[in-house]
């Protein structure tokens, strides 16, 4: 058993102030009204982490189009972050344009980013936080596996469509093997609603509990 604890999906994200490569930040105050992808990496100047930061940066404009901001974090000094970012720019011809938190462990502990059995380095954690400061998704990856940025983008898009259209998303959305690009209508909550749903020509039902609608 470990002593690892972290906030859960649906919880308010912990508040913090931090030193970053872009100066001090106050979370969530500085990001009010924004989606946030807060992600931790084990250490600067490591190969997998370098590929991840480059992958995030390559898609930064796509995140910004979704009203989402990126924030990196590890237990390294800000000087290390700055030198690493410089190395990436000089050697990989890519400028990292989002902030990286220089944590001393306090923020990582609040979010459960440190595995007690893996030393003092942060794990590969991802917290997707909505504009109200609520944690909507938590992902953890082992040290040897880099993250899939397309999945993180997909999830933010899915949340936004789900909230806008009051629907749920099938597996592999936006294209499901069985349903194609259709969206799932949330289950009926009463006998009356269930019967009415089967008579609703604007949706397609396999049964009262399994109905879909077009995009």
**Could you tell me the pLDDT band of residue 183, with boundaries at 50, 70 and 90?**
very high
| pLDDT for 9 beyond 90 | yes
Q: List the CATH number of the domain containing 110.
A: 3.40.30.10
Active site residue 211: no
The span from the CA of 33 to the CA of 13, in Å, is 14
Tell me: do 176 and 140 sit in the same domain: no
Taking residues 110-131, what's their average pLDDT?
Answer: 86
Do 95 and 173 lie in one domain? The reply is no
143 and 175 assigned to the same domain: no
Number of domains comprising the chain: 2
177 and 92 both lie in a single domain: no
Mean pLDDT of 79-107: 97
Q: Is the pLDDT of residue 119 over 80?
A: no
Residues 34 and 134 in one domain: yes
Evaluate whether residue 156 is within a structural domain: no
| Domain containing residue 207: CATH number | 3.30.1020.10
Domain shared by 126 and 180, yes or no: no
Q: Measured on CA atoms in the order 10, 16, 21, 23, is the torsion positive or negative?
A: positive
Are 136 and 199 members of one domain? no
Q: Report pLDDT for 120.
A: 66
* pLDDT-above-70 percentage for the chain: 96
Asked whether residue 71 is domain-assigned, the answer is yes
Domain of residue 135: give its range: 16-147
pLDDT of residue 5: 72
Catalytic residue among 18, 38, 49, 70: 49
Residue 28 sits in the same domain as residue 103: yes
**Is residue 133 domain-shared with residue 27, that is, in the same domain?**
yes
72 and 177 in a single domain? The answer is no
Task: Identify the residue with better confidence: 202 or 4.
Answer: 202
Helix, coil or strand: residue 118:
helix
Q: Answer for the pair 97, 145: CB distance below 8 angstroms, yes or no.
A: no
Asked if residue 118 has pLDDT above 60, the reply is yes
For 21, which DSSP code? Answer: B
| Predicted confidence band of residue 109 (pLDDT cuts 50, 70, 90) | very high
Q: Check whether 200 has a pLDDT greater than 60.
A: yes
Could you tell me which of 163, 211, 164 has the C-alpha nearest to residue 186?
211
159 domain-assigned: no
58 within some domain: yes
Q: Per the domain annotation, does 154 fall within a domain?
A: no
Is the pTM higher than 0.75?
yes
Given this model, what pLDDT does residue 181 score? Answer: 96
What is the C-alpha to C-alpha distance for residues 107 and 16, in angstroms, rounded to an integer?
Answer: 7
Four-point Cα dihedral 16, 36, 177, 212, nearest 10: 100
138 and 46 part of one domain: yes
Q: Where is the domain boundary, 92, 115, 147?
A: 147
Tens of pLDDT, residue by residue over 122-162, are 889 999 999 999 999 999 998 899 999 999 999 999 999 99
Lowest mean pLDDT segment, chosen from 7-21, 149-163, 197-211: 197-211
User: Has residue 7 been placed in a domain?
Assistant: no
Six-digit token string for 176? 């499901």
The answer to whether residue 1 scores a pLDDT higher than 70 is no
């Amino acid at each position: 058993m470990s002593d690892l604890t972290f906030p859960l999906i649906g919880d308010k994200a912990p508040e913090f102030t931090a030193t970053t490569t872009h100066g001090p930040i106050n979370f969530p105050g500085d990001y009010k009204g924004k989606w946030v992808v807060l992600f931790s990496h084990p250490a600067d100047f490591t190969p997998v982490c370098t590929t991840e930061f480059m992958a995030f940066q390559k898609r930064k404009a796509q995140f910004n189009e979704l009203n989402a901001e990126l924030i990196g974090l590890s237990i390294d000094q800000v000087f290390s972050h700055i030198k690493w970012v410089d190395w990436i720019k000089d050697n990989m011809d890519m400028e990292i344009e989002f902030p990286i938190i220089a944590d001393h462990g306090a923020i990582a502990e609040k979010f459960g980013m440190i595995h007690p059995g893996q030393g003092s380095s942060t794990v590969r954690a991802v917290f997707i936080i909505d504009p109200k400061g609520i944690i909507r998704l938590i992902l953890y990856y082992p040290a040897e596996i880099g993250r899939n940025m397309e999945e993180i983008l997909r999830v933010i898009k899915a949340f936004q469509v789900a909230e806008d259209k009051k629907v749920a998303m099938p597996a592999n959305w936006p294209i499901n093997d069985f349903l194609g690009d259709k969206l799932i209508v949330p289950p009926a909550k009463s006998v009356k609603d269930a019967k009415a749903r089967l008579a609703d020509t604007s949706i397609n039902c396999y049964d009262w509990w399994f109905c879909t609608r077009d995009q």
